[in-house]
Amino acid sequence: MTYIQIINSVLRRLREDTISANWSSDLIGSTGPTDYQVMIGDFINEVKREVEDAWNWTSLRRTETVSTVNGTRSYNLPSTTQRSRVLSVQEQSQGGTLQAVPDSWIKTTQYPTESSGVPGYFSVNSTSSGLLTVQLYSKPDAVYSVDFHLLDPQDDLTEAADVLTVPEYPVILGTWARAIAERGEDGGSLSDMAQFQYQQSLSDAIQQDVGRHTDEVVWNAI
């Protein structure tokens, strides 16, 4: 679903006027939508981030292959952000899975003598620009192809035609619940029902997606 479709779906549940035409560029600062409609758009992005953080969604996964350089331990991962996560790392030639360790472990282990060879460990940090950077240990002694399996949350939705990447139903219900709570309607009873429906829809979506990754732990919404 597009951003405007999600906003209008929530507005209809709230019995509010929908947005009849696409706005230009960013929703915030545009002249067409009302302040309330813009607030619903803000709620959608807040709930979207909650949904993205609830599970390692298939739709957000990608693999970045890095070719190491002899004697170089640190590598930036292109097109990542501070919200990106490294799920797992494999070295292609020997098929080994690298173990995640704290950066302090690598710094301590490499002294007084730093070993070189096929990397078996990695740590993750972020740069000032927001990119993820990884440290490998042992320091590569040749060119190795290392696959970084990443989770990249989507940027906030801003334009009317932006398409949501994660399942839309939990985002719609979660936004509806947040809007009801903001209004303080029905002494909280409707808000409680809406929150329950959001949590249930999120759990259902996770259960459906986990079927594609049966070897991984299932996290249920609470």
Choose the final residue of a domain: 151, 180, 195. Answer: 151
| Residue 181, domain member (yes or no) | yes
With respect to residue 114, please indicate whether it lies within any of the assigned structural domains: yes
Residue matched to tokens 């080994």: 96
Q: Can you give the pLDDT at residue 38?
A: 95
- Does the pLDDT of residue 220 top 70, yes or no? no
pTM of the predicted model, to two decimals? 0.87
72 and 111 part of one domain: yes
Q: How far is CA 142 from the centre of its chain?
A: 33
Looking at the fold, whether 74 and 94 belong to one and the same domain comes out as yes
Same domain, 64 and 144: yes
Does 220 reside within a domain?
no
Are residues 79 and 131 both part of a single domain? yes
Q: What type of residue sits at position 49?
A: R
| 137 and 170 inside one domain | no
Q: Which is more confident, 25 or 221? A: 25
Range of the domain at 147: 60-151
pLDDT on residue 185: 61
Q: Do residues 165 and 59 lie in contact, with contact meaning Cβ atoms separated by under 8 Å?
A: yes
Please check whether residues 53 and 65 belong to one and the same domain.
Answer: no
Q: How many CB atoms lie within 10 A of CB 154?
A: 18
In a domain, 215, yes or no: no
pLDDT surpassing 70 at residue 62: yes
Residue 104 shares a structural domain with residue 139: yes
Residue 112 pLDDT exceeds 90 = no
In a domain, 157, yes or no: no
Range of lowest pLDDT (49-53, 64-68, 128-132): 128-132
Number of domains the chain contains: 2
**Residue 46 and residue 67 in one domain:** no
Mean pLDDT for 88-116 is 88
Position 85 pLDDT exceeds 70: yes
Contact 73, 135 (CB under 8 A): yes
143 occurs within a structural domain: yes
Long-range CB contact pairs, 139-142, < 8 A, 24+: 139/71, 139/72, 139/73, 139/110, 139/114, 139/115, 140/68, 140/69, 140/70, 140/71, 140/72, 140/73, 140/116, 141/70, 141/71, 141/116, 141/117, 142/68, 142/70
Judgement on whether residues 50 and 71 belong to the same structural domain of the protein: no
What average pLDDT does range 44-73 have in this prediction? 97
Task: Give the tens place of pLDDT for each residue, 139-198.
Answer: 999 999 999 999 999 999 999 999 999 999 999 999 999 999 998 765 567 888 999 999
Q: How far apart are CA 126 and CA 169, in angstroms?
A: 32
Residue 156 in any domain: the answer is no
Residue 177 within any structural domain of the chain? yes
Confidence of residue 126 (pLDDT cuts 50, 70, 90): confident
For residues 82-88, give the mean pLDDT. Answer: 94
Q: What is the pLDDT of residue 65?
A: 97
